[in-house]
């Protein structure tokens, strides 16, 4: 009798781990919350999507890990599978192995996106304008 469990490789199910923002991003998210009333997880989700849309690959080493730590359930909420699919698609596009780079590049995209979002937000109406602009591109 052949043991099929030892001859087949099980595909590892990938999961997000907690994401730590940079100290700069943490400060900017706090100021955005004051300006807009939006919690940091909402701003990070928006920035994350902006970063994924940018064709360049972010450098994870540009962002320290001295900011806020957000658990995936808080950061992504019930939409975690959608964000996982977006991130896996981006890693594939960039030629990066998800088992090695998922956590590192998720953190890089979160930080880069929040950094890019910060100067464009003065109040809540700016999010509406950004959504319109993104839909037209």
Q: Where are the domains of the chain?
A: 15-124
pLDDT at residue 10, as a whole number: 44
pLDDT (tens, 9 = 90+) of the chain, 137 residues, equals 444 443 344 457 899 999 999 999 999 999 999 999 999 999 999 999 999 999 999 999 999 999 999 999 999 999 999 999 999 999 999 999 999 999 999 999 999 999 999 999 999 999 888 888 877 76
pLDDT at residue 3, as a whole number: 42
pLDDT at residue 134, as a whole number: 76
CA 132 from chain centre, in angstroms, equals 21
Three-class secondary structure assignment of the chain: CCCHHHHCCCCCCCCCCCEECCHHHHHHHHHHHHHHCCCHHHHHHHHHHHHHHCCCCCCHHHCCCCCCEECHHHHHHHHHHHHHHHHHHHHHHCCCCHHHHHHHHHHHHHHHHHHHHHHHCCCHHHHHHHHHHHHHC
CATH number assigned to the domain with residue range 15-124, chosen from the 4 options 1.10.1220.160, 3.40.50.300, 1.10.287.950, 3.40.640.10: 1.10.1220.160
């Amino acid at each position: 009798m052949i043991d099929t469990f030892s001859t087949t490789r099980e595909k590892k199910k990938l999961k997000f781990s907690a994401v730590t923002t940079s100290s700069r991003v943490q400060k900017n998210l706090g100021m955005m919350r004051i300006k807009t009333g939006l919690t940091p997880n909402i701003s990070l989700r928006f920035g994350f999507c902006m970063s994924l849309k940018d064709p360049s690959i972010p450098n994870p080493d540009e962002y320290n890990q001295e900011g806020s730590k957000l658990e995936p359930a808080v950061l992504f909420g019930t939409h975690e599978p959608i964000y996982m699919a977006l991130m896996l698609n981006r890693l594939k596009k960039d030629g990066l192995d998800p088992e090695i780079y998922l956590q590192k590049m998720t953190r890089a995209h979160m930080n880069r996106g929040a950094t890019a979002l910060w100067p464009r937000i003065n109040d809540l109406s700016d999010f509406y304008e950004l959504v319109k602009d993104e839909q037209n591109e």
